[in-house]
């Protein structure tokens, strides 16, 4: 490892990142408190236990002093001293017994709340439209459900109840100390802010160091994840050594940040303990004066009791300092989670939305549609076309010309900024999402398979579909052979990184899934992955079967698809530049001919 305590510079913070701490806010605390409403009985028992423990500890300190001050100072018979000591022991046992229950209840309450919160965030995310995911980094979405919800859990489970116990303990100890000796209590109170300030300064430094550790660790894990995901590219580019060196550097950095944080921690603990001990030492000196020199001397037993109580008063200062830091982190986490929950989807089904009939003809009309992902940046301008029922419309054009955007608008992933899109004459804006997804299916270019068996992937096309529907779909696509070819037939495990299903097989499984859904309108972004000639032929045949008797909108990459299309839309800079069948367009000697020549050459 390089220079162990060298200053580290490599962790640069994301400028868009939200602050990892926020000031305490009454509205957030009230909302967090509201999350406990379904568990009100548990919460109330917990509050009672908190109150009890806050009284128990000062009471314990007082009882020890009382035994010293009473039976021991008065040289009472041994039996009386033993009985009094057993009383103290019983009180101590009772104190610890309630602690077990308090901790268990707090744990259950925190877990219940975070479970509910994660469920709400997940359901909310499911409703968010594509525009939200286009703008939000995946890592952010994940951390809302993981670390932010967890910060809320810690806030409720630990911070809230531990702080209440500690604050109660301080108040209890102060009340008894005031009863014993008010001037001596003033000495204790005067020292408290000093202890608080030293603790805060040290803790802030530690928190920064700890944050660097977390961020450098995130980099290490993100790099591992990415390395696994793109291992083929790495090997193809022979970048193994370069990547290994970058990774080594990241782990060295992480180790250095860890050492830095450990160094701060190693300094903080002894310093905080020393501050506490110095404070208690001062109480002892002033107390000795009060019990020996002062005109109205304090009994030694009272001084011992007072000294114990001062310890009980000082120790929460450090604990509360820690809890305060955690509370600020919980506030930041809660604020982010609530902000997400409060962000309404940019659009939802209109209250007046109607369903498409169960049987639709499949006429698709795109009328004067213009669209901008970001206001003012038009990516589609005044696009109009009609796909008659059972027609195939192919979209071609240069990269970035707007083909995928048209497909996304027809699937209603986004709403047109201007113009309208109709199915059988009904504006999709006024239709229910459920009926649109019944009528329109999308096969994206990536041929995404979920984690699970091939069978599960195929029947995912329609709720209630069975194995025989899956087999029937494969038969209709003339792909029954696939069941034999897959190592474990329909039970073969697939998934984003399954590796047991080839690229061609993936495409056919996606076709079968779409066939099970049986939509009237199909949107297909043709996969561009190279497959062998036999597989290509099989895919072509299956595709022909899939598109039969359906209206289809195909972002076409295969010449065979383009040639058979009823209509080809040639896109250029967000507009339809040319429109017609293959032969007609070739004759126009325009953009299409140009594209075609480049395509076949
Ligand atoms: N989520 C988005 N936010 C902002 N701009 C986007 C978004 N998606 C696409 N664009 C922009 O919209 C324009 C059209 O993109 P689109 O993906 O529709 O083109 P395309 O013709 O399908 O391209 P390709 O053939 O490369 O897939 C491009 O300029 C692109 O940069």
Q: Quick check: ipTM above 0.85? A: yes
Question: What does the pLDDT read at residue 113?
Answer: 93
Question: What does the pLDDT read at residue 4?
Answer: 37
Which atom number of ligand 1 is nearest to the Cα of residue 395?
21
Which mutation among 128, 136, 398, 401 tests ligand 1's pocket best, with the greatest number of atoms within 8 A of CB? 401
Residue nearest to atom 13 of ligand 1 (CA): 400
Q: Where in the chain is the domain with CATH 1.20.1560.10?
A: 26-342
Backbone angles phi, psi at 480, to 5 degrees: -60, -30
Q: How far is the CA of 405 from the centre of ligand 1 (A)?
A: 6
Band of pLDDT at residue 19, cut at 50, 70 and 90: low
Q: How far is the CA of 399 from the centre of ligand 1 (A)?
A: 8
Question: What does the pLDDT read at residue 499?
Answer: 62
Sole residue written with tokens 């289809």: 552
Residue range 75-100: mean pLDDT, rounded: 91
Which atom number of ligand 1 is nearest to the Cα of residue 374?
4
Pick from 220-234, 244-258, 402-416, 446-460: least confident: 220-234
Indicate the DSSP class of residue 453. Answer: E
Comparison of pLDDT for 521 and 222, the residue scoring more = 521
Comparison of pLDDT for 588 and 204, the residue scoring more = 588
Pick from 104-118, 222-236, 558-572: least confident: 222-236
State the sign of the Cα–Cα–Cα–Cα dihedral 295, 300, 304, 309: negative
Q: How far is the CA of 396 from the centre of ligand 1 (A)?
A: 14
Residue nearest to atom 5 of ligand 1 (CA): 373
Question: What does the pLDDT read at residue 426?
Answer: 95
Backbone angles phi, psi at 566, to 5 degrees: -75, -25
Contact 393, 552 (CB under 8 A): yes
- What is the pTM for the complete model shown? 0.73
In terms of Cβ atoms closer than 10 Å to its own Cβ (0-12, 13-18, 19+), residue 15 is exposed
Q: How far is the CA of 408 from the centre of ligand 1 (A)?
A: 10
Which atom number of ligand 1 is nearest to the Cα of residue 406?
18
Question: What does the pLDDT read at residue 196?
Answer: 85
**Average pLDDT along the chain:** 86
Question: What does the pLDDT read at residue 245?
Answer: 86
User: What is the distance between the alpha carbons of residues 601 and 587, in angstroms, rounded to a whole number?
Assistant: 18
Question: What does the pLDDT read at residue 384?
Answer: 97
User: What is the distance between the alpha carbons of residues 39 and 23, in angstroms, rounded to a whole number?
Assistant: 27
- Assigned token pair, 218: 């995130």
Q: How far is the CA of 571 from the centre of ligand 1 (A)?
A: 12
Q: Where in the chain is the domain with CATH 3.40.50.300?
A: 364-600
- Summarize pLDDT for 439-487 with one digit per residue, the tens: 999 998 888 888 889 999 999 988 899 999 999 999 999 998 989 998 8
Comparison of pLDDT for 567 and 137, the residue scoring more = 567
Band of pLDDT at residue 1, cut at 50, 70 and 90: very low
- Assigned token pair, 136: 């939000």
Band of pLDDT at residue 389, cut at 50, 70 and 90: very high
Question: What does the pLDDT read at residue 339?
Answer: 92
Counts of helices then strands in the chain (DSSP H, E) = 21, 12
Band of pLDDT at residue 2, cut at 50, 70 and 90: very low
Contact 154, 107 (CB under 8 A): no
Rounded percentage of the chain residues whose pLDDT exceeds 70: 94
Residue 3 above 60 pLDDT? no
Contacting residues for 267 by C-beta, under 8 A, at least 6 apart: 202
Contact 541, 558 (CB under 8 A): no
Residue 393 above 80 pLDDT? yes
Superfamily name with CATH number, domain 26-342: ABC transporter type 1, transmembrane domain (1.20.1560.10)
Q: How far is the CA of 519 from the centre of ligand 1 (A)?
A: 26
Q: How far is the CA of 397 from the centre of ligand 1 (A)?
A: 12
Contacting residues for 204 by C-beta, under 8 A, at least 6 apart: none
Q: How far is the CA of 159 from the centre of ligand 1 (A)?
A: 47
User: What is the distance between the alpha carbons of residues 359 and 357, in angstroms, rounded to a whole number?
Assistant: 5
Which mutation among 375, 379, 383, 595 tests ligand 1's pocket best, with the greatest number of atoms within 8 A of CB? 379
Q: Which residues are near ligand 1 (CB < 6 Å)?
A: 134, 373-374, 379, 397, 399-405
Contacts made by residues 480-487, CB under 8 angstroms, sequence distance 24+: 482/508, 482/509, 486/454
Contacting residues for 286 by C-beta, under 8 A, at least 6 apart: 184, 187
Residue nearest to atom 24 of ligand 1 (CA): 399
Backbone angles phi, psi at 371, to 5 degrees: -150, 140
Residue nearest to atom 26 of ligand 1 (CA): 399
Residue nearest to atom 28 of ligand 1 (CA): 400
Which atom number of ligand 1 is nearest to the Cα of residue 408?
18
User: What is the distance between the alpha carbons of residues 218 and 214, in angstroms, rounded to a whole number?
Assistant: 6
Cα pseudo-dihedral 456, 458, 459, 462, rounded to 10: 140
User: What is the distance between the alpha carbons of residues 105 and 94, in angstroms, rounded to a whole number?
Assistant: 17
Contact 187, 289 (CB under 8 A): no
User: What is the distance between the alpha carbons of residues 218 and 14, in angstroms, rounded to a whole number?
Assistant: 12
Q: Pairing mode, if any, of strands 440-443 and 452-453?
A: unpaired
Question: What does the pLDDT read at residue 18?
Answer: 63
Please, where are the H alpha helices in 155-299?
A: 161-180, 182-229, 231-236, 240-292
Question: What does the pLDDT read at residue 385?
Answer: 97
Q: How far is the CA of 406 from the centre of ligand 1 (A)?
A: 10
Question: What does the pLDDT read at residue 554?
Answer: 94
Count the alpha carbons within 13 Å of 152 in the hemisphere toward its beta carbon.
31
Secondary-structure class of domain 364-600 per CATH: alpha beta
Which mutation among 383, 400, 444 tests ligand 1's pocket best, with the greatest number of atoms within 8 A of CB? 400
- Summarize pLDDT for 90-138 with one digit per residue, the tens: 999 999 999 899 889 999 999 999 999 999 999 999 888 888 888 887 7
Q: How far is the CA of 370 from the centre of ligand 1 (A)?
A: 14
How many residues are listed for the chain in this entry?
601
Contact 103, 65 (CB under 8 A): no
User: What is the distance between the alpha carbons of residues 367 and 455, in angstroms, rounded to a whole number?
Assistant: 39
Residue range 259-266: mean pLDDT, rounded: 86
């Amino acid at each position: 490892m390089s220079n162990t305590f060298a200053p580290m510079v490599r962790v640069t913070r994301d400028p868009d990142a939200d602050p990892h701490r926020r000031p305490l806010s009454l509205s957030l605390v009230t909302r967090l408190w509201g999350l406990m409403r379904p568990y009100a009985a548990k919460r109330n028992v917990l509050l009672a236990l908190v109150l009890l423990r806050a009284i128990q500890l000062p009471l314990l300190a007082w009882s020890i002093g009382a035994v010293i001050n009473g039976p021991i100072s008065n040289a009472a018979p041994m039996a009386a001293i033993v009985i009094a000591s057993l009383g103290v022991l019983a009180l101590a046992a009772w104190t610890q017994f309630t602690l077990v229950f308090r901790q268990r209840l707090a744990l259950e309450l925190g877990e219940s709340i975070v479970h509910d919160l994660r469920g709400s965030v997940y359901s909310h995310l499911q409703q968010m439209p594509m525009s939200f995911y286009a703008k939000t980094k995946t890592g952010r979405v994940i951390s809302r459900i993981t670390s932010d919800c967890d910060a809320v859990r810690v806030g409720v489970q630990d911070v809230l109840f531990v702080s209440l116990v500690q604050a109660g303990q301080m108040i209890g100890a102060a009340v008894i100390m005031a009863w014993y000796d008010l001037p001596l209590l003033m000495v204790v109170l005067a020292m408290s802010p000093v202890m608080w300030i030293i603790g805060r300064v040290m803790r802030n430094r530690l928190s920064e160091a700890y944050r660097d550790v977390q961020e450098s660790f995130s980099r290490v894990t993100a790099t591992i994840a990415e390395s696994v995901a793109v291992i083929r590219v790495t090997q193809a580019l022979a970048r193994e050594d370069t990547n290994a060196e970058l990774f080594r550097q990241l782990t060295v950095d992480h180790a250095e940040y860890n050492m830095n944080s450990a160094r701060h921690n190693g300094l903080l603990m002894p310093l905080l303990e020393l501050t506490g001990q110095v404070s208690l030492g001062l109480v002892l000196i002033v107390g000795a004066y009060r019990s020996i020199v002062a005109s109205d001397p304090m009994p030694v037993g009272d001084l011992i009791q007072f000294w114990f109580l001062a310890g009980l008063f000082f120790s929460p200062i450090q604990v509360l300092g820690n809890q305060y830091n955690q509370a600020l982190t919980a506030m930041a986490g809660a604020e982010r989670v609530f902000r997400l929950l409060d962000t309404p989807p940019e659009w939802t089904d209109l209250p007046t939305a109607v369903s498409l009939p169960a049987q639709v003809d499949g006429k698709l009309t795109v009328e004067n549609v213009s669209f901008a992902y970001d206001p003012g940046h038009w990516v589609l301008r005044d696009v109009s076309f009609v796909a008659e029922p059972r027609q195939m419309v192919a979209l071609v054009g240069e990269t970035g010309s707007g083909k995928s955007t048209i497909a996304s608008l027809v699937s209603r992933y986004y709403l047109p900024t201007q113009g309208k899109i109709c199915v059988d004459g009904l504006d999709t804006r006024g239709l229910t999402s459920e009926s649109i997804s019944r009528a329109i299916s999308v096969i994206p270019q990536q041929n995404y398979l979920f984690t699970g068996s091939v069978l599960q992937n195929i029947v995912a096309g329609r709720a209630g579909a069975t194995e025989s529907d899956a087999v029937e779909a494969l038969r209709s696509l003339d792909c029954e052979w696939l069941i034999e070819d897959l190592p474990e037939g329909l039970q073969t495990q697939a998934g984003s990184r399954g590796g047991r299903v080839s690229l061609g097989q993936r495409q056919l499984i996606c076709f079968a899934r779409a066939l099970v859904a049986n939509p009237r309108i199909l949107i297909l972004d043709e996969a561009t992955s190279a497959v062998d000639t036999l597989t290509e032929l099989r895919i072509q045949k299956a595709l022909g079967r899939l598109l039969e008797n359906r209206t289809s909108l195909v972002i076409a990459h295969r010449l065979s698809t383009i040639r058979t299309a009823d209509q080809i839309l040639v896109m250029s800079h967000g507009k339809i530049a040319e429109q017609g069948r293959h032969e007609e367009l070739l004759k126009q000697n325009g953009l299409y001919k140009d594209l075609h020549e480049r395509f076949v050459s």
